[in-house]
């Protein structure tokens, strides 16, 4: 009996040892997920980071690395990403790379929130002052509100820096004074944890490092020889991230304007209306995730209304002039007060305004021509034409024109049969005519 128990005990110990060994081996040769953030921070990236963290957690990844290169972005999106990072059950490493990259504004907060912060050579970090309360924002934000926003941002980044043992004073200066640092300065100031030349160097330096997660769990990173999984955006995420750009949003809004106007002025074309409608919906999505100024949107809508009014009423350029002024003003105000990365390229504004103005000028010219153009169908076609008198006009009689006899009244006295008359106007089925002027003496008709 005791012999059997001893055998079972030894077998259990051996099995446990094998499982532990296999567990250590799996951890040592585990996987590392790599996410890439390049560009402004917006809500699309929140979903991307969330999906990446979930995948890393579900697959027991050794670490999740975010390769970061950003000029900043939306505060709300940045805070959502930070919350995902600090509450993750996997170690999150932010790596400002490749060389020439930066982690500015919102990127500083994301870097500070990481369990391990690293930078590549020739990179920079800093300038985290809230731009919405900068020089342009002071017009729309009271001094008290400005102080509240600034203090909130400073407290937030102090908390992130303190939780990971980083330089609290520098972090606060990055918010209040917009200070920046190179990778060497950041390492010396204890803003980051290490400098890595490339991803392989980063994995080598991370191996064996202990990291404390927010839940109090201490984990040791085993990244040497780990399988690197490049966790990229999906096609839809890439598309949405691309159009969530101020210049793209403005361009979509412009295409929507041209398409819808073309459909209104030429009913039945269908294609311009479809393109315009799709562009308008995409523009609404883009503007919905960007810090837009609603006064700018209203001015652009007013411009569209004036353009439509011009073609429908033909004010000979008055509505067009007002529409162009409203369009330019709305374009300049669309992202007024936002960070520089959310400003529209002035050359794009100029190009769009020129194209829309040219299109309107063409439509207005056609409308004016249509008003001035003589009708070519129906009875109105007769006005100005020459006819032959069949029954003398005294003043009423009959004239012949293109195979038809018409009752006519002379407005230039009696006209005998055989003479030619010019039709001046029409009243119902009655034509009013005058005698055709005689050709000057000596001038002969060419045959």
Task: Look up the CATH number of the domain holding residue 15.
Answer: 3.90.226.10
Residues 265 and 364 in one domain: yes
Read off the pLDDT of residues 402-426 as tens digits, 9 standing for 90 and up: 778 888 999 888 888 889 999 888 8
Give me the number of domains the chain comprises: 3
Choice between 337 and 90, residue whose per-residue pLDDT is larger: 90
Report how far apart, in Å, the C-alpha atoms of 371 and of each of 305, 316, 378 are.
22, 11, 17
**CA gap 388, 207 in Å, rounded:** 106
Hey, is 383 helix, strand or coil? coil
Supply the angle between the helices 235-243 and 246-265 in degrees, to the nearest 10: 80
Please confirm, yes or no, whether 443 is among the known catalytic residues: no
Marked catalytic residue, from 38, 83, 148, 385? 148
Q: Is pLDDT at 109 greater than 60 in this prediction?
A: yes
Judge whether 195 and 120 are in contact, CB under 8 Å: yes
Residue 111's pLDDT band (cuts 50, 70, 90): very high
Residues 351 and 395 in one domain: no
- Average confidence (pLDDT) over 7-28: 42
Residue 337's pLDDT band (cuts 50, 70, 90): low
Specify the range with the lowest mean pLDDT, choosing from 72-76, 124-128, 217-221, 380-384: 380-384
What is the H or E stretch that residue 347 is in?
A: helix 346-372
Residues 363 and 327 in one domain: yes
Q: For residue 15, what pLDDT is reported?
A: 45
Q: Is pLDDT at 328 greater than 80 in this prediction?
A: yes
Marked catalytic residue, from 97, 105, 331, 410? 105
Q: What does the DSSP 8-state code read for residue 70?
A: B
Please confirm, yes or no, whether 105 is among the known catalytic residues: yes
Residues 87 and 61 in one domain: yes
Supply the angle between the helices 235-243 and 271-288 in degrees, to the nearest 10: 80
Is residue 446 in some structural domain?
no
Hey, is 64 helix, strand or coil? strand
Count other Cβ atoms within 10 Å, centred on residue 426: 16
Residues 170 and 36 in one domain: yes
Q: Collect all residues with Cβ–Cβ distance below 8 Å to 76 and sequence separation of at least 6.
A: 43
Q: Is pLDDT at 43 greater than 70 in this prediction?
A: yes
Choice between 8 and 88, residue whose per-residue pLDDT is larger: 88
Q: For residue 101, what pLDDT is reported?
A: 94
Residues 258 and 345 in one domain: yes
Percentage of the chain beyond pLDDT 70 is 82
Q: Is pLDDT at 131 greater than 80 in this prediction?
A: no
Q: Is pLDDT at 63 greater than 70 in this prediction?
A: yes
Residues 201 and 350 in one domain: no
Q: For residue 124, what pLDDT is reported?
A: 95
Exposed e or buried b per residue across 161-175, where buried means at least 16 C-beta atoms within 10 angstroms of its C-beta: beebebbbebbbbbb
**CA gap 173, 403 in Å, rounded:** 95
- Average confidence (pLDDT) over 225-253: 90
**CA gap 429, 398 in Å, rounded:** 12
Q: For residue 430, what pLDDT is reported?
A: 86
Q: For residue 334, what pLDDT is reported?
A: 82
Q: Is pLDDT at 29 greater than 70 in this prediction?
A: no
Q: Considering only CA atoms, which of 344, 343, 345, 339 is closest in space to residue 74?
A: 339
Helices and strands: H and E segment counts in the chain: 14, 16
Exposed e or buried b per residue across 322-339, where buried means at least 16 C-beta atoms within 10 angstroms of its C-beta: bbbebbbbbbbbbbbbbb
Strand ordering across the sheet containing 180-182:
102-104, 124-126, 180-182
Count other Cβ atoms within 10 Å, centred on residue 415: 23
Q: For residue 20, what pLDDT is reported?
A: 42
Q: For residue 139, what pLDDT is reported?
A: 45
Strands 194-195 and 116-119: parallel
Instruction: Work out the mean pLDDT of the chain and round it to a whole number.
Output: 82
Q: Is pLDDT at 290 greater than 70 in this prediction?
A: yes
426: CATH: 2.40.50.140
Residues 226 and 120 in one domain: yes
Q: For residue 136, what pLDDT is reported?
A: 41
HSE, CB side, 13 Å, CA atoms: give it for residue 264: 18
Is residue 99 in some structural domain?
yes
Choice between 271 and 265, residue whose per-residue pLDDT is larger: 271
Residues 188 and 297 in one domain: no
Supply the angle between the helices 143-163 and 168-176 in degrees, to the nearest 10: 150
Q: Is pLDDT at 26 greater than 50 in this prediction?
A: no
Read off the pLDDT of residues 362-402 as tens digits, 9 standing for 90 and up: 766 766 665 555 555 556 677 888 899 998 988 899 998 87
- Average confidence (pLDDT) over 55-83: 93
Domain of residue 47, residue span: 10-234
Is residue 104 in some structural domain?
yes
Q: Is pLDDT at 352 greater than 80 in this prediction?
A: yes
In the numeric block, which tokens belong to residue 62? 């050794």
Q: Is pLDDT at 142 greater than 70 in this prediction?
A: no
pTM above 0.85, yes or no: no
């Amino acid at each position: 009996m005791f012999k059997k128990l001893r055998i079972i005990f030894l077998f259990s110990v051996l099995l446990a040892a094998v499982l532990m060994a296999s567990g250590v081996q799996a951890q040592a040769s585990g996987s590392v997920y790599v996410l890439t953030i390049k560009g402004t921070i917006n809500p699309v990236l929140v979903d991307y980071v969330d999906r990446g963290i979930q995948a890393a957690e579900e697959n027991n990844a050794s670490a999740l690395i975010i390769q970061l290169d950003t000029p900043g972005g939306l505060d709300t999106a940045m805070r959502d990403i930070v919350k995902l990072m600090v509450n993750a059950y996997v170690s999150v490493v932010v790596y400002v790379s490749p060389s020439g990259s930066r982690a500015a504004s919102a990127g500083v907060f994301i870097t500070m929130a990481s369990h391990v912060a690293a930078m590549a050579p020739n990179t920079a970090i800093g300038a985290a002052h809230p731009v919405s309360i900068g020089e342009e924002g002071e017009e729309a934000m009271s001094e008290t509100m400005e102080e509240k926003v600034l203090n909130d941002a400073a407290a937030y980044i102090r908390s992130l820096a303190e939780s990971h043992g980083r330089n609290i004073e520098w972090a606060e200066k990055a918010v209040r004074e917009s200070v920046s640092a190179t990778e060497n300065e950041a390492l010396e100031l204890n803003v980051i944890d290490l400098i890595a030349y490339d991803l392989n160097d980063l994995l080598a330096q991370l191996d064996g490092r202990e990291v404390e997660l927010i839940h109090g769990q201490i984990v040791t990173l085993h990244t040497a020889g780990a399988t690197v999984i490049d966790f990229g955006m999906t096609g839809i995420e890439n598309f949405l991230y691309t159009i969530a750009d101020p210049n793209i949003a403005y361009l979509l809004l412009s295409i929507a304007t041209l398409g819808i106007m073309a459909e209104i002025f030429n009913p039945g074309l269908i294609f311009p209306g479809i393109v315009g409608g799709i562009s308008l919906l995409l523009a609404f999505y883009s503007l919905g995730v960007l810090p837009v100024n609603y006064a700018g949107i209203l001015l652009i809508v007013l411009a569209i209304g004036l353009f439509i009014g011009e073609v429908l009423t033909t004010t000979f350029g008055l509505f067009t002039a007002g529409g162009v002024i409203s369009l330019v003003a709305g374009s300049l105000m669309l992202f007024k007060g936002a960070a520089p990365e959310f400003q529209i390229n002035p050359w794009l504004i100029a190009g769009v305004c020129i194209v829309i103005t040219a299109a309107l000028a063409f439509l207005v010219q056609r409308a004016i021509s249509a008003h001035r153009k003589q009708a070519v169908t129906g009875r109105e076609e007769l006005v100005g034409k020459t006819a032959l008198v069949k029954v003398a006009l005294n003043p009423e009689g009959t004239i012949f024109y293109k195979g038809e006899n018409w009752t006519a009244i002379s407005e230039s006295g009696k006209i005998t049969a055989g003479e030619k008359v010019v039709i001046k106007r029409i009243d119902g089925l009655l034509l009013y005519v005058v005698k055709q002027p005689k050709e000057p003496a000596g001038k002969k008709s060419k045959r």
